[in-house]
Amino acid sequence: MFPESKIALMQKINSLLPEPERKKPSAVLCRHCDYVNEMEFSFCTNCGYPLQNRLLEDVFYKRIRQRTNMLFKAENSVTVARIILYVIASFLSTGVFFIFAEGSRKYIIVLLALMLSGLFFVLAFWSRKNPFTALLTAFIILIAFSAINIFSSLAQSFTTFAGVTGMLLCLVLLFVMLKGVHGAYRINLINEELRIKI
């Protein structure tokens, strides 16, 4: 094809040209989630898997197990708070029996009890889909009703047995609901952290 003189000339020209620089790869692929990371990163920006140091793999898997255990505990506290909401709703639904009571306000009491029962049933059901918002709403409603109950008869709240047990019951319910709100918040955080391609 080419005469020998031309081939020799091309080889001479190529020998005079500088050697092409071999670039280091600018990205590294995570072995855990196949995410492309920059070379200087020590950990995957998607899943946190160690890119450079293989000795840290055990730490990574230990962290995943720890987060999974935390998620389990948080889900349990949300479940307990949800059950409490169903119990409150069931208890309030027994207010329908006030229809047989004597008095002029019996219809208002029955209507209020049924509305509150429905509200707590809806909140308990909603906590399956959006636990943080539902439990926080229920917590705020319980705080409002507890404050109204305690301050409406402040003298009786601290001096009678019924008042003290009512306050203690309110505090226990608020504590369980607050624990459920905290658990729901942790579920959101942990799920966001673990929402990776594994």
Give yes or no: residues 28 and 100 share one domain.
Answer: no
> 129 and 35 in one domain?
no
Q: What is the pLDDT of residues 92-136, one digit of tens each?
A: 998 888 788 787 888 888 898 899 999 999 999 999 999 999 999
- The answer to whether residue 6 is domain-embedded is no
| Distant-in-sequence, close-in-space partners of 126: CB < 8 Å, separation ≥ 6 | 133, 134
Highest mean pLDDT among 27-36, 69-78, 150-159: 69-78
Q: How far apart are the first and last CA of the chain?
A: 56
- Do residues 87 and 131 both lie within one domain? yes
Structure tokens at 94: 């027994």
153 assigned to some structural domain: yes
CB 47 within 8 A of CB 198: yes
- Residues 24-67 have pLDDT tens digits of 667 888 888 888 888 888 888 888 888 887 788 888 888 888 98
Domain limits for position 72: 63-193
Task: Specify whether 23 is located in the same domain as 107.
Answer: no
Q: Is 44 in the same domain as 83?
A: no
> Are residue 47 and residue 81 in the same domain, yes or no?
no
Question: Is residue 7 a part of any domain in this protein?
Answer: no
CA distances from 64 to 78, 109, 190 (A): 21, 51, 10
Mapped to the 3 state alphabet, what secondary structure does 122-179 carry? HHHHHCCCCHHHHHHHHHHHHHHHHHHHHHHCHHHHHHCHHHHHHHHHHHHHHHHHHH
Residue 4 inside a domain? The answer is no
In angstroms, rounded to a whole number, what is the distance separating the alpha carbons of residues 115 and 141?
Answer: 13
158 and 179 in one domain? yes
Q: Looking at this protein, which amino acid is placed at residue 22?
A: R
Closest CA to 120 of 87, 163, 71: 87
24 lies in the same domain as 83: no
The SS3 assignment for 184 reads helix
Q: Which amino acid is at 58?
A: D
179 and 90 fall within a common domain:
yes
Together in a domain, 110 and 139 = yes
Would the pTM count as exceeding 0.75?
no
Question: Would residue 114 count as lying in a domain?
Answer: yes
Residues 80 and 139 in one domain: yes
Number of domains in the chain: 2
Same domain, 89 and 145: yes
